[in-house]
Chain A
């Protein structure tokens, strides 16, 4: 099970793996990987 989580959240070097508009998903990922969430809040205008 753990390896599946690790693969699921694997990070591609050199690229930021943004989660778009889904706080719950980011929270789950952060808890699984024991890392903080970094949120960028923006607007199209």
Chain B
């Protein structure tokens, strides 16, 4: 999405209307921002009132350029106090959502939907916000019921795909609504013109749900279609950065099929094209490990460690330790965990604190 939507001319028209801030959530320098504004997932878009430093709108997940443009306008109007009727309810819900109060936000999103009626132009985006708010509030039943109740009458576009995605994500094994959600998802993955990230994520969710339900044939069929979809997207991508976004999914699809090697050539190609990015060697390491090529996995993991930073670098030290344990090199594994522990201690306390207990246990220091 960074390599496509955020470069769209539609957004460039609003260049002068905002201060544009890009936050790499992995970087320790952004810890204070993360604590204040982040919801725990990416991508996330936040409109912040500079006077109060409070978020007036936060949007988790992808969006098309026109949708993002409309969200920006919603945020700007909320700050200016220019909303009335259902838009005012929506603005209050968005603000609560940005303040990490998803349950309260959900109640107001619901009111906005009731108030706006079936022809309200912001209906689809409010339904998306509602299912996401239920998800973050861990109100899974309401999330599923909203998705099943609203999705069938929605236009078949990105909002539909995202609503069904969250409905599936919220569903429990054996839930009575599951068959209906699966049918909607089968429809959703075939909708043309939807962002590749969204279609791919829906494929992933659907294949995973089938597997969870024990339907291995449907899971394999879906994962195969997912893999083919990703290959097409990768072939059409115009930059290595755009390909990398799909590569992350490709490794998952190949893994779900039990054929990690299907993703290897593409990942090796991306590592050559993006020599400073830690993700290709990280993914290559994952593939090699799944293929049982532990020495190659260790080498790739080392290349990734050299380029990574923050909490991700710590997790790569843990991966190195695990790989060494698999090779029965327990002394080497301890050294890897100790290196990870030493690095973690250089990170800000808020980043390091959740990592330290496990690392200390692995390194044998506690």
Residue ranges of A at the interface with B (Cβ–Cβ < 8 Å): 9, 11-23, 26-27, 29-31, 33, 35-45
Contacts and interface: CB of A to CB of B under 8 A. Distances in A.
Given A37-B50, A38-B46, 19 more contacts: A9-B19, A11-B15, A16-B15, A16-B20, A17-B15, A17-B20, A21-B23, A23-B30, A26-B20, A30-B18, A31-B50, A35-B19, A36-B19, A36-B49, A36-B56, A36-B76, A38-B75, A41-B45, A44-B312
B12 interface: yes
Given A14-B9, A17-B15, A40 B23 contact: yes
B48 A22 contact: no
Contact of A45 (B9, B27, B76, B279): B279
Contacts of A14: 9, 12, 15
Contacts of B76: 36
Nearest to B308: A44
A40 B46 CA distance: 7
Interface in B41-93: 42-51, 53, 56, 72, 75-76, 79
B45 A44 contact: no
B174 interface: no
A26 B49 CA distance: 11
26 contacts: A14-B9, A14-B15, A15-B12, A16-B7, A16-B15, A17-B15, A19-B22, A21-B23, A21-B24, A21-B27, A23-B23, A23-B30, A26-B19, A30-B48, A35-B16, A36-B48, A36-B76, A39-B21, A40-B23, A41-B42, A41-B43, A42-B2, A42-B43, A43-B25, A43-B26, A44-B312
B248 interface: yes
Contacts of A33: 19
A19 B248 contact: no
Nearest to B312: A45
B17 interface: yes
B331 interface: no
Interface of B: 2, 6-7, 9, 11-12, 15-27, 29-30, 32-34, 37-38, 42-51, 53, 56, 72, 75-76, 79, 248, 277-279, 282, 312
A10 B35 CA distance: 30
Given A42-B2, A44-B278, A18 B12 contact: no
Contacts of B282: 45
A21 B200 CA distance: 28
Nearest to B79: A36
B238 to A, nearest CB: 18
